[in-house]
């Protein structure tokens, strides 16, 4: 994409130049449009759950910009000869369930015949142009809050190997189907300086993008990071997908890991997540209030995992 | 003659999954595993020790590894 002759525009607030979650275009002084899409192949066996996960994941990019989703369209790649119609119907029903939970409307969609099933959404949302949250706003002294536990990629790997317990699979599905909607009151105080969602590059990759984009350094306290219990167990058995290892290698030059840090945790922090939690950089004076607001909104896993240490080029110090 | 798994050319977690399945079926004895990345070597060692197997020997030839796992 970097080689394409992309044009700019005064009303283009967030485009392709930053590694951000969605594009933002100002329509009026009060309204900016957020556009995003995401779709992928099934990661769980149950089609309704897969639909929920894919939709929640696509909607998450709007939340990660501080916005509110308005409308969505289905993206479907469907092997009609090999996959029964009921499966597709269940996927679409799961997706619609999350669209409605988000308070958005389904407008339609498009399907193509494909050898492999894929589903996702194109989502349109809105945000006030002065309240766009990107991954580039973290400031020295900010507190880092993560809203969901890590480990869904490792549990999905164990599921593929038929080694995951039903309880572990359910815990991962619970995380992946949960919308990343932030309670509006936690954005009103303007204490939230930066947001990103944790997806394919894992906690390390997305934290690094935020730290680089904001020209700061992070300290992360490993023992404070919420992790799904089963993921820790499976990672200790070596059930680590190749993608997570690639994430770790990609980030390695920017990571300063405490020598006593458990290597299993390094795998989990590099683990590719599907619809993982939001990482928030919050002004220190408002961090306790924002955390309380998140907990009041039943985002119970929300935890302080570290802090922003001052200017830099994206280094992440990980203490045990 | 020990059992042998050739997991060269496979990316994670395949070497781990194949090794775990084999170790479970063997229950005890000796298993030789051929691998061609550092990370698959680390992960297979983790997998083996999670089932109580020991690493008897690791031989490296260039970028390839020959692990010998054993459980008495």
CATH of the domain at A268: 3.90.650.10
Specify the number of domains making up chain A: 2
Q: Write down which residue in A112, A130, A148 finishes a domain.
A: A130
Say if the ipTM goes beyond 0.85. no
Residue B33 structural domain:
3-71
Q: How far is B2 from chain A (nearest CA, A)?
A: 23
* Domain co-membership, A181 together with A309: yes
Residue-level pLDDT at A161: 85
- Of A163, A240, A263, Cβ closest to residue B12: A240
Domain count, chain B: 1
pLDDT of residue B48 exceeding 90, the answer is yes
Chain B environment of A239 (Cβ under 8 Å):
13, 16-17, 43, 47
Task: Give the end of a domain, one of A91, A114, A130.
Answer: A130
- Contact at 8 Å (CB) between A12 and A22? no
Let me know: does A281 contact A142? Beta carbons within 8 Å: yes
Cα Rg, chain B, nearest whole Å: 11
Same domain for A46 and A143, yes or no, is no
Burial A195-207 (b: 16+ CB within 10 A, else e): bbbbbbbbbbbbb
Whether residue A87 is found in the same domain as residue A37: yes
Q: Residue B53: give its domain's CATH number.
A: 3.30.110.40
Same domain, A279 and A162: yes
B42 in reach of chain A (CB within 8 A) = yes
CA of A170 to nearest chain B CA: how many angstroms apart?
21
Q: Which residue of B has its CA nearest to A243?
A: B12
**Alpha-carbon distances of A55 from A47, A62, A101, B59, rounded to whole Å:** 12, 12, 11, 48
Strand ranges in A175-252 using DSSP code E only, listed in sequence order: 192-197, 216-221
For the cut 90, the answer to whether the pLDDT of residue A7 exceeds it is no
Q: Average pLDDT for residues A14-28, to the nearest whole number?
A: 85
Answer for the pair A49, A34: CB distance below 8 angstroms, yes or no: no
Average pLDDT over residues A30-57: 96
Higher pLDDT, A192 or A161: A192
Q: What is the pLDDT of residue A243?
A: 84
Residue A78 lies in a domain: yes
Q: Give pLDDT tens digits for A86-136.
A: 999 999 999 999 999 999 999 999 999 999 999 999 999 999 999 999 999
**CB nearest B50 (choices: A157, A237, A245):** A237
CATH assignment at residue A73: 3.30.1330.10
- Asked if residue A211 and residue A148 are part of one domain, the reply reads yes
Interchain pair A239, B13: CB under 8 A: yes
Chain A nearest C-alpha distance from B11 (Å):
6
Supply the mean pLDDT for chain A: 94
Domain identity same for A226 and A184: yes
Domain span at A88:
12-130
Q: Interface of chain A against chain B, CB under 8 Å?
A: 157, 160-161, 163, 236-242, 245, 263
Residue A6 lies in a domain: no
A85, A113, A130: which is the final residue of a domain? Answer: A130
Query: Within 10 A of A103 (CB to CB), how many other CB atoms are there?
Result: 11
A291 shares a domain with A203: yes
Where residue A19 falls among pLDDT bands split at 50, 70, 90? low
Residue A246: predicted pLDDT: 86
């Amino acid at each position: 994409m970097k080689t394409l002759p992309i044009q700019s525009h005064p009303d283009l607030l967030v485009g392709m130049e930053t590694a951000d979650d969605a594009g933002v275009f100002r329509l009026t002084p009060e309204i900016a449009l957020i556009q995003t899409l995401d779709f992928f192949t099934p990661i769980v066996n149950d089609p309704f759950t897969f639909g929920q996960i894919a939709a929640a994941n696509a909607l998450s990019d709007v939340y990660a910009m501080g916005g509110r989703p308005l409308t969505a369209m289905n993206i479907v790649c469907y092997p009609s000869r090999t996959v029964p119609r009921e499966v597709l119907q269940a996927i679409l029903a799961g997706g619609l369930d999350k669209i409605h939970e988000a308070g958005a409307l389904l407008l339609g969609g498009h399907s193509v015949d494909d050898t492999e099933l894929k589903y996702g959404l194109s989502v349109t949302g809105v945000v006030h142009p002065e309240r766009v949250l990107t991954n580039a706003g973290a400031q020295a002294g900010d507190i880092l809050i993560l809203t969901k536990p890590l480990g869904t990629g490792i549990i999905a790997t164990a599921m593929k190997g038929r080694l995951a317990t039903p309880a572990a699979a359910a815990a991962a599905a619970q995380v992946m189907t949960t919308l990343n909607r932030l309670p509006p009151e936690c954005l009103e105080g303007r204490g939230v300086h930066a947001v990103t969602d944790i997806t394919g590059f894992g906690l390390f990759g997305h934290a690094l993008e935020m730290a680089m984009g904001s020209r700061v350094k992070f300290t992360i306290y490993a023992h404070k990071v919420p992790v799904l219990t089963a993921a820790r167990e499976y990672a200790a058995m070596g059930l680590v997908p190749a993608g997570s290892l690639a994430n770790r290698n990609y980030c390695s030059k920017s990571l300063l890991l405490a020598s006593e840090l458990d290597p299993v945790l390094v795998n989990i922090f590099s683990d590719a997540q599907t619809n993982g939690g939001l990482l928030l950089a919050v002004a220190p004076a408002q961090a306790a209030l924002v955390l309380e607001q998140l907990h009041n909104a039943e985002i119970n896993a929300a935890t302080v995992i570290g802090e922003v240490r001052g200017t830099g080029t994206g280094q992440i110090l990980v203490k045990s | 003659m020990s059992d042998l798994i050739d997991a060269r050319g496979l990316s994670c977690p395949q070497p781990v999954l194949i090794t775990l399945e084999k170790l479970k079926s063997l229950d005890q004895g000796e298993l030789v595993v051929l691998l061609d990345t550092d990370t698959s070597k680390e992960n297979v060692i983790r997998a083996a020790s999670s089932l109580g197997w020991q690493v008897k020997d690791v031989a490296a030839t260039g970028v390839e590894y020959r692990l010998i796992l054993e459980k008495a």
